[in-house]
Structure 1
């Protein structure tokens, strides 16, 4: 891709990074498969895609890059409140949609009576906590998630924090300070990995702060990739980049995770973002990358309530691995279709409406 620069050396925002969009969708699908496999084979050593939990760190790094790319040069004119409104419009409709799906799946789960155990009052509080992204770890029977009705909300909680920090503070900081903060965050990642044994943390009441450490490093690293102009131009295409990303998720789970995980996050993901930003997209793959990017966020946000149903089904029916080998790809494909339908018929119309009322011209 040919990337032109402004007089101050920053990339113009006319460029769109289609391959990064495609990689985001690929990572979202990997997360769905990983969550299916968590329940099908609870021992991560038997999970063929055992490192797909690191997709979240890739999302955070990509978010830092894209936010800095889109807003570094214009947030001063745009203003903090309009910026936060735009991020709210982009992120929150699907948070609510995921919460609604989550509460219905919880109440009407045909294989579980957890809703009866917790009752209407606690269910309603969980719903509110999910809608407003206020952590409320409650359900011990299901891994003590910060947001039981829709567990992936944990990463959106930290994404909001990162966006607010960017608008209020990070946009004003010189690169030297950002480098210092990023170095501290890298050290913190290393300590967290040693403590937990891996970096699949941040989602539960007993590992909450790990999520903050993960977003602190990855988001800052993404900003620095953009501000340092680390765009690695190459003839690599979407397929090659996809293989480089999937290679991370396919790394076997082992005792070495406390070393492997921070190295992948600290070094490999910023490199991958820089490489993806400068890779060459074949025209025939443009639509695939766009569609992949479009469904990535809705797929990530709406899939997990259906995974709870899958777990309940496993607990009751104890299906064979042969059965799950066709259930998992079928379920993944169905969730991709559902995510696309929700994007087109629900999310996009809501976002269009919110923009019309929140940015009314005087």
Structure 2
């Protein structure tokens, strides 16, 4: 059965796009860093946690009041139709780029047999995590052809938990879950060997711990935020929310190598306090004006496509920088080209692939209703 669509929060759509563009810039600039301490757009990795919070908020808004008309299976079908086509496209692009890559970053990559590349690609289409023994790139990723797939894996788990159990929670029970998840996240940050919450992309106990800690608080905090907080209209909410995201992501590393706990505290305060405030501001705001509306729509439209397709292009840039030992002052024109190419690729994938495929899937899957 096809459910009537609800109005979007245009500012939240725009903020997702702002964060996605900052992720692309973060990954490009990461090529010129030597460690977590000197990353540029230093806290850009927190975009994943921001996306989790936004997803929880949007899932609650879209589905909380529809369970009388929707089965668990129907919910899963809707989420798969929305998310899975670009998972497939991201893996395809990753496989094509991987096949033609050879770099000092990945010694032995040219020795990967075609059959193994095809197998990894097919498994990638399902988003099932690969064991480290099947990592063909050498970075110990559960999705070596398209690294950001790890966060979608954990988002799927959060969606499953929501559909099976958490949707039935009272606000008190949900508040308890969010509080315990916050404690879990604080513990992760304060015990981190690197003084941050970076990680979650490998299929081992340490990385799974990081992944679950990173998804549980923000996703279900977003759910709680949507259910309980009264929205207040704020003038120029998109501008202020976008500026806050930029500031949070761009703050340089705090504490250095001597005081790792200081940066750890910054990470958890950003996720637990700053991000809910930013989403609250954005959800309560209004977009006025033709151009502002178009900007928010464009950013929202490309946010998911660019997140799921940009990383293979970044890997090409990573290899070029490493092979030619290119400093940023010489490499920045190529970095700008990669950034613009990622935006263009996202738009092409959206218009020529994602939207048509989703429309076809909706017709096939829900036409019986």
Give me the TM-score of the superposition, normalised by structure 1: 0.92
Q: Is 1:192–2:188 an aligned residue pair?
A: yes
Q: 1: CA distance between counterparts of 2:281 and 2:267?
A: 20
Residue 134 of structure 1 corresponds to 128
Partner secondary structure for residue 76 of structure 1:
coil
Compute the displacement of 1:183 (Å): 0.8
Residue 257 of structure 2 corresponds to none
Counterpart pick for 1:145 among 135, 141, 144: 141
| Superposition map of 1:1-362 within 5 A | 14-109=6-101, 111=103, 114-136=108-130, 137=132, 138-139=134-135, 142-196=138-192, 197-205=195-203, 206-254=206-254, 255=260, 256-283=262-289, 284-361=291-368
- Mapped contact 1:115–1:123 kept (Cα < 8 A): no
Compute the displacement of 1:110 (Å): 5.1
Q: 1: CA distance between counterparts of 2:137 and 2:125?
A: 22
Q: 1: CA distance between counterparts of 2:200 and 2:247?
A: 23
Q: Which moved more, 1:54-63 or 1:70-79?
A: 70-79
Compute the displacement of 1:201 (Å): 1.8
Q: 2: CA distance between counterparts of 1:151 and 1:230?
A: 37
Q: 1: CA distance between counterparts of 2:181 and 2:6?
A: 31
- Mapped contact 2:72–2:164 kept (Cα < 8 A): yes
- Mapped contact 2:109–2:137 kept (Cα < 8 A): no
- Mapped contact 1:189–1:213 kept (Cα < 8 A): yes
- Mapped contact 2:30–2:40 kept (Cα < 8 A): no
Check 1:121–1:217 CA distance in 2 against 1; reply closer, same or farther (3 A cut).
same
Deviation sequence 1:67-114 (CA, Å, 0-9, x none): 100111012312111111111011000000001111111111154664
- Mapped contact 1:62–1:273 kept (Cα < 8 A): yes
Identify unmatched segments of 5+ residues in structure 1.
Answer: 1-11
Partner secondary structure for residue 65 of structure 2:
coil
- Mapped contact 1:65–1:224 kept (Cα < 8 A): yes
- Mapped contact 2:197–2:267 kept (Cα < 8 A): yes
Check 1:85–1:14 CA distance in 2 against 1; reply closer, same or farther (3 A cut).
closer
Q: 1: CA distance between counterparts of 2:352 and 2:320?
A: 29
Q: 1: CA distance between counterparts of 2:136 and 2:10?
A: 41
Q: 2: CA distance between counterparts of 1:262 and 1:45?
A: 17
Partner secondary structure for residue 316 of structure 1:
helix
- Mapped contact 2:10–2:297 kept (Cα < 8 A): yes
Q: 2: CA distance between counterparts of 1:201 and 1:261?
A: 13
- Mapped contact 2:189–2:265 kept (Cα < 8 A): yes
- Mapped contact 2:61–2:226 kept (Cα < 8 A): yes
Q: Which moved more, 1:248-257 or 1:218-227?
A: 248-257
- Mapped contact 1:40–1:324 kept (Cα < 8 A): no
Identify unmatched segments of 5+ residues in structure 2.
Answer: 255-259
Aligned length: 351
- Mapped contact 1:106–1:114 kept (Cα < 8 A): no
Q: Which moved more, 1:67-76 or 1:22-31?
A: 67-76
Deviation sequence 1:207-255 (CA, Å, 0-9, x none): 2221111111001100011110342321133222210111110111233
- Mapped contact 2:135–2:142 kept (Cα < 8 A): no
- Mapped contact 1:38–1:44 kept (Cα < 8 A): no
